[in-house]
Structure 1
């Protein structure tokens, strides 16, 4: 049975989420503020966290940051903040998905299932490294070595590269990338892909303005190429 930690300062929402998730055989822990959430997380690391950003003490972004310092457990962010900059910040810090309030219960349940399935698939089948003359991407260990120097990639950058590296050289559509990296509710946010592709090119490419490895097919998608 998967253990879920729900973090939100709205008691009614926590109660509704708990009832629906327990009815689907999840074990549920709850917290109404950031400090309680971190204490609950440290006492028993859950299989997934549902995290509101608007908490009364610690901001949810800070809670996410502290979780990511010690764990790669899936985190689904809930927030009334709908600006794309808020979404990018949370996803870049390592959130696995971002759900804007108000939301439908079935939509959230679907995202929970997707996030848990990704974690299980990752445990069962470690992805082999992707290697070029310039860099090595070790997906199992989350280590990127570029020109002999270990370089930090964000969790979102790792997810994006992981999807592309499953089929090196093959075109992956924008829609597929968005759904795989950000979740089933995404499909049209091509600006997210442009932002992250540019970030990755600055790290991976010898000449980011003339990419050789992370290549865009305008209007269609992206390819990850070897040497």
Structure 2
């Protein structure tokens, strides 16, 4: 039995709509990581270019968590988490021009905040004193968050800003250590250091840590 013309037309339109939906979903799956990267980059840029001294003061007064084991990898909820992070008070920024890094710094290690910036790793850290340690994510996108640290070289300059304070460090050491080696963030007598910590790669389950150390020059 042949189908009525109206029903055949309806079925053709239904097939076309279904194919279009499948095409859209396929494209979204293919480019989802790229879109996520662009979104994180945009949120980070919006945050770091609008940090005021008043915000820094508010950020410094808040309680923070420093248990790095509680930090989760950037999840499928990165869009929502990054939006929340952008509304959180930052305490400064980190810039490495040679690596195109320009990120906000937050107090403590909060999974949401780390979707758009770096976090301090120890309570009571003071810029330009001791070993100022920051952690950030290494993503599969090599251009966002701390991923560019994979191309860090000795001699590159890192600038940390916190309110009215600015400190400049020169990278002096780059190494990879097991995730259990937390001694890298300890203070060193007589040294004024900066330590940047991220995963050694953007691969899921990475257990090694890339450590980039700098010494204060100004």
- TM, length-normalised to structure 1: 0.27
Higher alpha-carbon Rg: 2
Higher RCO (Cα < 8 Å, 6 or more apart): 2
- TM, length-normalised to structure 2: 0.28
- Give 1 or 2: higher strand fraction: 2
- Give 1 or 2: higher helix fraction: 1
